[in-house]
């Protein structure tokens, strides 16, 4: 069914239409938020809040951009707010966290957990202004124009933030990996790290 029609039905209080929107976007939004927050439980909580806002603010949606852009914009704003709130809270050492599941490459080989940890910490160290466009572009596959609609910034700003964010990631990973071990932006973004 057409998403514009579904959002119209949600405006009228149709819970089945809302359930269909949730089915379409739930996994994508949880994955996106997990990439932004680095925490699955937080991602699930923020995605629930995202869909509550979709339901209760359906009347404010304007079909000038795809519905997905509006939903991702809501999720992005919630992630930014959560990041600010958590930054003010006490800091927990990474050593206190439980060990993560073993990551694997698409071919099934185990991914170096030190490298994965370095990448996660490098991504987490970026401010949301850089992390959000990078995650949307390189992990979620959105075009720069779509990201522009999601974060409500000009395409030129999106391009600059992606470029700057990738350079910051590269520097963080170089520092973490030691001198002489360099990742290219292409390797980082294609997941070939």
DSSP 32-59: HHHHHHS-HHHHHHHHHHHHHHHHHTGG
DSSP 56-115: HTGGG--TTS-HHHHHHHHHHHHHHHHHHHHHHSPP--GGGSPPPPPPB-TTSPBP-HHH
- Look at the domain 111-193 and name its fold: Arc Repressor Mutant, subunit A (1.10.10)
Task: Evaluate whether 1-87 and 111-193 have a shared fold.
Answer: no
Neighbouring residues of 181: CB distance < 8 A, sequence distance ≥ 6: 174
CA distances from 172 to 108, 118, 137, 184 (A): 27, 8, 19, 12
Confidence (pLDDT) at 33: 93
Confidence (pLDDT) at 25: 93
Note the pTM of the prediction, 2 decimals. Answer: 0.58
Question: How many whole angstroms separate alpha carbon 164 and alpha carbon 158?
Answer: 10
Q: Which one, of 66, 70, 69, lies nearest residue 58 by Cα?
A: 70
Gyration radius of the chain over CA positions? 18
Enumerate the domain spans of the chain. Answer: 1-87, 111-193
> Position of tokens 């700003």?
157
The answer to whether the Cα torsion of 140, 127, 190, 145 is positive or negative is positive
Confidence (pLDDT) at 91: 46
Residue 170: CB atoms within 10 Å: 17
Q: Which one, of 118, 151, 154, lies nearest residue 133 by Cα?
A: 151
The C-alpha angle 125, 146, 150, rounded to 5 degrees, equals: 60
Q: Which one, of 16, 27, 21, lies nearest residue 3 by Cα?
A: 21
The yes or no reply on domain 1-87 and CATH 3.40.50.300 is no
Confidence (pLDDT) at 98: 46
Could you tell me the mean pLDDT of each successive run of 10 residues in the chain, 193 residues long? 84 90 93 89 93 90 85 92 74 45 45 67 86 88 88 91 89 70 42 38
Residue 162: CB atoms within 10 Å: 20
């Amino acid at each position: 069914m057409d998403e514009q029609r579904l959002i119209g039905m949600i405006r009228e209080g149709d819970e089945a239409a809302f359930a269909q929107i949730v089915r379409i976007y739930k996994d994508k939004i949880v994955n996106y938020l997990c990439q932004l927050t680095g925490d699955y439980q937080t991602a699930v909580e923020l995605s629930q809040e995202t869909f509550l806002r979709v339901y209760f603010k359906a009347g404010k949606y304007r079909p000038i951009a795809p519905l997905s852009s509006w939903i991702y914009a809501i999720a992005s704003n919630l992630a930014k707010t959560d990041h600010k709130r958590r930054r003010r809270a006490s800091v927990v050492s990474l050593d206190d966290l439980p060990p993560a599941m073993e990551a694997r490459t698409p071919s099934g080989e185990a991914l170096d957990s030190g490298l994965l940890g370095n990448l996660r910490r490098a991504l987490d160290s970026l401010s949301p202004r850089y992390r959000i466009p990078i995650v949307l572009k390189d992990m979620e596959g959105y075009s720069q124009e779509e990201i522009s609609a999601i974060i409500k910034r000009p395409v030129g700003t999106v391009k600059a933030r992606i470029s700057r964010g990738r350079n910051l990631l590269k520097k963080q990973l170089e520092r973490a990996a030691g001198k002489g071990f360099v990742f290219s932006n292409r390797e980082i973004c294609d997941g070939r790290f």
